[in-house]
Amino acid sequence: MTRTRLAKSVFYGVALLFSFVLAVSNAFANGSTEKSSTSSKAPTLVWFSGVDGGKGPKEVPLFEDAIVKATGINKTTVFRMVTTLEDAGYLMRNPETRRYRPGVRVLQLGFTAISGLDVRQAARPYLEQLSQQVGETVSLSVLDGMEVVYIDRVRNRQIVGVVLGMGSRLPAHCASMGKAMLAHLTPAELQRRLDQAELKPCTPKSLADRTALEADLAVVRERGFAINDEELEIGLRAAAAPIWDSSGQVVAAANITGSAAMISRERLVNELAPAVKETASKISQSLGYSVEGIIQIGT
């Protein structure tokens, strides 16, 4: 795991943890003159988390007295809370220094928060940037059975013959994004879906033969992107790449689409495919995925 990803996960985890803790503390202190305002507690979150916007460590670990001073909660209540959180694995205490720091379970909260981010919301700025960069239409979709479902699109040029919007569905085996996602299913799941699929051709270039499709998916898996060379619509070319979440699952795909008159086969492979692959990687990282590997935190 990279230092940046670890810092981001700890920050999200502590944010969720302290949102709960502060709610509990308010309940404890209801009607008490010691109850702190929301604004006074906000800086404490970042201070205690040890993360300054994901940039690096700050003043952690903390003494119990420091938590009392920073939050304005009485010492007895703080003691009960930190003891409970320590027992549950959310805080760790150094027995020699008696200082507290975020525990392993905070990472779990962080990963959950990152994974729970809406992929469309996370992807949108990257899609807009990619569309401006290459001057073509960029799309985002998810896989539903053997169909891709469009969930976002940034239009740049008018694509003749294809009218797509939010919720539009296309056969996955004929679409670049479909092939990008199918290629990264488990072998058993891919076989199950293909067994139930009717691979109808959309054009004479469509991969309607199962053996040919499986061979193409193996190439997609190897190079990390999929190509659609007039397989969906004559005169249309596209390149797509998968988007991964923090658990290492492919949750969506992004593509660049345009007219074959504007996008040569050479440009498709040498310029657009690497560009969409890089963008998909950035979106994946924003969802908590790390190319260095997925760390599994035990429950």
Residue 55's CATH number: 1.10.10.10
Rounded to two decimals, what is the model's pTM? 0.60
**294 in a structural domain:** no
**296 in a structural domain:** no
Question: Containing domain of residue 29, as a range?
Answer: 3-115
Residues 137, 261, single domain; the answer is yes
Distance (Å, whole) CA 267 – CA 278: 16
CATH number for 207: 3.30.450.40
Query: 171: helix, coil or strand?
Result: strand
Residues 96, 13, single domain; the answer is yes
Look at residue 73 in the predicted model and tell me its pLDDT: 79
Residues 107, 139, single domain; the answer is no
Look at residue 100 in the predicted model and tell me its pLDDT: 74
Residues 124, 110, single domain; the answer is no
Residues 219, 167, single domain; the answer is yes
Domain boundary among the residues 115, 135, 158 is at 115
Query: 252: helix, coil or strand?
Result: strand
**194 in a structural domain:** yes
**293 in a structural domain:** no
Mean pLDDT of the chain: 77
Residues 103, 201, single domain; the answer is no
Q: Which of 215, 173, 170, 168 is nearest to 197 (CA)?
A: 173
Residues 109, 144, single domain; the answer is no
Query: What phi, psi does 68 have (nearest 5°)?
Result: -60, -45
**165 in a structural domain:** yes
Look at residue 269 in the predicted model and tell me its pLDDT: 96
- Please state the domain count of the chain: 2
Amino acid at 256: I
| CA 168 to chain CA mean position, Å | 22
Distance (Å, whole) CA 72 – CA 4: 31
In 32-107, where do the E strands start and end? 91-93, 100-102
| Residue pLDDT, tens place only, 271-284 | 999 999 999 999 99
Look at residue 157 in the predicted model and tell me its pLDDT: 67
**208 in a structural domain:** yes
Q: In this structure, what DSSP letter does residue 4 have?
A: H
Domain boundary among the residues 115, 134, 167 is at 115
Residues 106, 141, single domain; the answer is no
Residues 17, 105, single domain; the answer is yes
Residues 129, 161, single domain; the answer is yes
Residues 252, 222, single domain; the answer is yes
Domain boundary among the residues 57, 88, 115 is at 115
**295 in a structural domain:** no
**67 in a structural domain:** yes
Report, as ranges of residue numbers, the positions in the chain whose pLDDT lies below 70: 1-63, 70-71, 104-117, 157-163, 291-299
Residues 107, 39, single domain; the answer is yes
* The dihedral sign for the CA sequence 48, 34, 36, 82: positive
